[in-house]
Structure 1
Amino acid sequence: MVDIDHIYEILNYKFFSIADQSVTLGGLLLIPTLAVVGFWITKYLVRLLTAKLTNRNTDPNIIHLVRRLLYAIAISIIVITVLDIINVPITAFAFLSGAIAIGFGFGAQNIINNFISGWILMWEKPIRIGDFLEVESAKGVVEEINTRSTRFRRVDGVHMLIPNSKLLENTIVNWTLVDKLMRTSVQIGVAYGSPAKKVAALILQATEEQEGVLATPKPQVIFEDFGDNALIFEVNFWIHSNVEGGLRMAKSNVRFRLDELFAENNIVIAFPQRDIHIDGSLTLLKSDVVE
């Protein structure tokens, strides 16, 4: 038969004392149990809240911030509860925690910097999930903002992990910070002698026919310059796009249509040409003639 008193005596065996408070074997065994149960309950509640917010079409950035806050609060509650149950006063760690904080601060400045930067990004939202960024020479979409780094998917499909502090301390181009309106342009040169006004009308027609081009602001055709070998025109227009591929495809569609319209109206797209002028007479010897 199991001796309850003996088991109780074993569980109450004192391992050590902290600030005149005894820490028993039972208390130590209770720590992993409380940690596992607390984490499971927290995960369930976070998942339930996330599902409700998603069903209400809440901003993904708000959902991400709420999840991080709940996990941080839950971990704090679990730690305080465990210490209280095993009779360990929080004040006993005051001096130790201060010493650890100083040492940790000197040894992990970058980690702390990125951690705080992550919370700033999630709270102020200068960069959000789904934004199209230009970070130095890389362009891509933000997929996830974590407490230490941000996951960034380049236009070529490669994933990058960018430290959060870098996104706050450096100049970042956010193409979709306020809206998804983007302006782009197409430049083309036509041969000298082409009717300039007709060329401008055809360029405007080719641009306005594209489905993604906005009517407001209206596309604008500019006679840019008299080039070395061509009359240079440029058309500026706006589209709705959240990736660079949308801009490139819009410009490609305009160029395809321009090629068709110029062929129909006998407009020649310019190419480099050089005229050679020879002063005096030129005599070809028989040996210079190619048979």
Structure 2
Amino acid sequence: MDEITRILQSPLVIFGESSITLMQILAVILLVLAGGLFVVWSARILRRLLGARRVSPDLVQILSRAWLILGLVVLAFIVLDYLNVPLTAFAFISGAVAIGVGFGAQNIINNFISGWILMWERPIKIGDFLELNEVHGTVESIDTRSTRIRRVDGVHVLVPNSFLLENSVTNWTLVDRLVRTSVRVGVAYGSDVSKVTELLLLAADEHADVLKEPVRAVIFDDFGDSALIFELTVWVNAGAERSLRVIRSDLRYKITALFNENGVVIAFPQTDIHVDGSLKLES
């Protein structure tokens, strides 16, 4: 027993007037495991409590992540204090790390800081529908290095946080979900344009998702080659591109049915051919 105690208390690392024994190393391992589990567990409890109070998901993520980082920092200081390691011992190491960060980890630090800016300023929030380049999708999480977006086809895309701050991003739901959309239709020449306008407005009024304010409108857009072109413009609350497509599809179904009931012909491309002279058909 005395031999085991001597081995555990024998110094393994000596720096200055301080030393680290095997017993201290084992105690530190247990302390780190127990403290790390406690910090992670308490962060989950914090998220659960905030979620139960219906706090914004972005604020929940900021507070839980701040608590996690703070807990790990406090745990690190407790370990250093237990080992009697002065912070000045890390002066040289911190200088070397700073040089390494400056040359080799610029993108990581950039994305890390950008992630905190996104969570703090909240130009992009969890649940927002974004359009960036060819990607259209809903923000599911804003992590330390990247933001996870679920595209409309169900595929997940990881976008670096710095990209979201340094490039133009269309946020459909930044302030509200109010979106304008339109449906174009061409009717045959000779149609009653007043009747067409009335039917288009009726189709908008009968759709549950079309808002009364701002008001819907019908524009007699153009005299086309084969049709009189009308455009129905409506305002809706939509959080994704798919919902807009569904609404436009519903309006087209309704417009087609109303036109058929009232004898309005939807035009199709056609060409009139005029022949100068006589045309002779031989059998």
Q: Which whole-Å CA distance do the structure 2 matches of 1:88 and 1:60 have between them?
A: 39
Aligned partner of 2:235 in structure 1 is 238
* One-letter identity of the residue aligned with 2:173: T
Aligned to 1:70: 67
Report the CA distance between 1:75 and its aligned residue.
1.0
Q: Given that residues 191 and 230 in structure 1 are in contact (C-alpha distance below 8 angstroms), is that contact kept between their aligned partners in structure 2? A: yes
User: Where does structure 1 lack aligned partners over 5 or more consecutive residues?
Assistant: 287-291
Describe how 1:221-236 pairs up with structure 2 within 5 A: 221-236=218-233
Are the equivalent residues in 2 in contact too, given 1:19–1:89 (CA < 8 A)?
no
State the one-letter code of the partner of 1:87.
N
User: Runs (4+) of structure 1 moved beyond 3 Å?
Assistant: 5-8
Report the Cα offset of residue 20 of structure 1: 3.1
Identity across the alignment (%): 52
CA-based RMSD: 1.2
Matched AA of 2:74: I
User: Which residue number in structure 2 is paired with residue 80 of structure 1?
Assistant: 77
Aligned residue among 10, 14, 36 for 1:13:
10
CA distance in 2 between counterparts of 1:205 and 1:18 reads: 85
Q: Number of residues paired by the alignment?
A: 283
Q: What's 1:187 paired with?
A: 184
Determine the C-alpha separation between the residues in 2 that align with 1:79 and 1:263: 75
Deviation string for 1:191-214 (max 9, x for gaps)?
Answer: 111011110110000011100110
Q: Hey, what's the Cα distance between the residues in 2 that align with 1:154 and 1:207?
A: 29
Give the C-alpha shift of residue 17 in structure 1: 2.0
Correspondence for 1:289: none
Tell me the distance in 2 between the aligned counterparts of 1:214 and 1:152.
29
From 142, 159, 178, the equivalent of 2:139 is 142
The yes-or-no answer on 1:269 pairing with 2:266 is: yes
**1:203 correspondence with 2:200:** yes
Question: Is 1:165 the equivalent of 2:169?
Answer: no
The one-letter amino acid of 1:31's match is: V
**Which residue identity is paired with 2:89?**
A
CA drift of 1:31 comes to 2.1
User: What are the superposed Cα offsets for residues 62-119 of structure 1, whole Å, 9 maximum, x if unpaired?
Assistant: 0011111111111111111111101111111012111112113211111111111111
Where does 1:33-72 land on structure 2 (aligned, <5 Å)?
A: 33-72=30-69
How far apart, CA to CA, are the structure 2 residues paired with 1:32 and 1:127? 40
Q: CA deviation at 1:44?
A: 2.1
2:123 is equivalent to residue 130 of structure 1 = no
TM-score, scaled to structure 2: 0.97
Structure-1 separation of matches of 2:127 and 2:202: 33
Instruction: Tell me, yes or no, if structure 1 residue 31 matches structure 2 residue 38.
Output: no
Q: Distance in 1 between matches of 2:51 and 2:138?
A: 21
- Give the alignment partner of residue 155 of structure 1, picking from 147, 152, 157: 152
Stretch of structure 1 that moved more, 191-200 or 98-107 = 98-107
Deviations 1:121-168 (A, max 9, x none): 111111111000001111000011110111110000111111111111
1:144 partner SS: strand
Retained in 2: the 8 A contact 1:105–1:112? no
Distance 2:122 2:217 in 1: 34
Distance 1:194 1:188 in 2: 13
Letter in 1 for 2:247: A
SS in 1 for 2:214: coil
**SS of aligned partner of 2:29:** helix
Whole-angstrom CA distance in 2 between matches of 1:143 and 1:58:
16
Cα distance between partner residues in 2 of 1:92 and 1:20: 12
Deviation at 1:184, TM superposition (A): 0.6
Rounded to whole Å, the distance in 1 between the matches of 2:30 and 2:273 is: 91
How far apart are the structure 2 equivalents of 1:110 and 1:19? 38
Question: What runs of 5+ residues in structure 2 fail to find an aligned partner?
Answer: none
* 1:248 aligns with one of 236, 245, 250: 245
